[in-house]
Structures are given as C-alpha cells and as structure tokens.
Amino acid sequence: DGGITQSPKYLFRKEGQNVTLSCEQNLNHDAMYWYRQDPGQGLRLIYYSQIVNDFQKGDIAEGYSVSREKKESFPLTVTSAQKNPTAFYLCASWDRGMVEGYTFGSGTRLTVV
Amino acid sequence: QKEVEQNSGPLSVPEGAIASLNCTYSDRGSQSFFWYRQYSGKSPELIMFIYSNGDKEDGRFTAQLNKASQYVSLLIRDSQPSDSATYLCAVLDSGGYQKVTFGTGTKLQVIP
C-alpha cells in the first residue's frame, strides 16, 4: 500500500544536539511538507518542497534544515539553534493532480531531555 | 501572514445532536478548503474538502462555503462519541505553491 512513513515515532534530544527526522513516501507525489504542532495548536509550516533539489522556507524555518535529494525522501534536521523543539512533527505530501489535499504521515514526537 | 480562525472550544454536544464548527479565513483568493479530524496523539485525517460556494454533503458530514464572507463551516449530524476529536479547518493558499494554512482547531466533545 502507498503511503508516508515517518520515523522514529518518538525521539529524545539532548540540549545542543542535532537530530534528523525521516520522511519517506511511495506515492510518487511531487510536493512534500513539514509541519510542527504544539499542544492545543494548529499546524505550522516549517519547510516545503515542490520538486527534487528545491525547497522553500515556511513560516517557522529558523533552527531547521531540510534536503530533497530524492523524490521519495524529505528529511528534516532539528538543529541546536532551535530553542524550543519539543513538539509533534508531521510530514505530508501532495500530488498536483489531486484535489483532496495532503496525505499525512503518522508523525514524530520530539522531546528535549 | 494568511490566517485561519477557529473557536478552540471545547464544543460539547449530546449524542445524536448536530455539531456545528465554524472557520473564517483571511486569504480572499483561496479556492480550496479542507476539514481534518485529529484524534489525540494522531495525525490529521481528511474528512471533507470543498471549493464551490454552497453545501457539500458526505454521509453525516456537510461542509458549507461562503467565499464572499470568507467563511467555512462543518456540520456533523447524529453526533457520536467517536466523533469526539479536534477538527482542523485548512485553506489552500492562493500563492500557487500548493501550501495549506491550518486553523488552531476546535475540540468537539460528544456526550453519551
């Protein structure tokens, strides 16, 4: 079955450490996205990519970095510059020919320890 | 910055009643609108999308869109305890980059 796989499901980060969240899709979608969700909040856009080797900053890109070397993969690195990284991170993809919007992964919950 | 506004709730309704969830948006050029349901600790799941003014019905769910008033709503008929979740309104930005802006969500509680 096609879908989006995010790993790990839970991740713990020490102060000053960089961590990378994985997002892989086998839907053949061109566009991929990273959102962050804090408790009781909506989703805020971190980065998005519409084609391989190209990506744009979203509304809260500071302290994060991404790459898009393959169509299937869009990893997110949370750097030590991100001062409050504890959140639920969601990866999504979208096929331009579809009107139904995003397909979401199951999410990664990141906690600073 | 484009905004999507929702009442955070909680909205409490008795089982079997109609739940009405509302959303306003700032991007006048937006053309596509979505309602997602999110259970605690889970990722959002799409329950309705709408892009034409008027009503769109799917089972117990009806989405309503009024572009002139920049207003979207979701009605849930015959509410069930399993409908208890947070409902996110989402709007496709008009900038052409296929980006979606989400509201903060309305928490719905269906009381048995």
CA-nearest residue to A59 within chain B is B1
Please state the separation of Cα A49 from the chain's center in Å: 10
Model pLDDT, residue A49: 96
Contact A96 B8 (CB under 8 A): no
Residue A32 to residue A103: CA distance in whole angstroms: 9
Contact A94 B88 (CB under 8 A): no
Shortest CA gap A107–chain B (Å): 6
Model pLDDT, residue A98: 75
Query: Burial letters for A65-92: b for 16+ Cβ neighbours within 10 Å, e otherwise?
Result: bbebeebbebbbebeeebeebebbbbbb
Shortest CA gap B16–chain A (Å): 26
B34 vs A: CB within 8 A: yes
Q: Which two structure tokens, joined as six digits, stand for A49? A: 């990519």
Contact A99 B42 (CB under 8 A): no
Provide the residue-wise pLDDT of chain A in tens; the chain has 113 residues: 679 999 999 999 888 899 999 999 999 999 999 999 998 788 999 999 999 999 999 999 999 999 999 999 999 999 998 889 999 999 999 987 777 789 999 999 999 88
Contact B34 A33 (CB under 8 A): no
Nearest by Cα to A45 from A28, A54, A32, A26 = A32
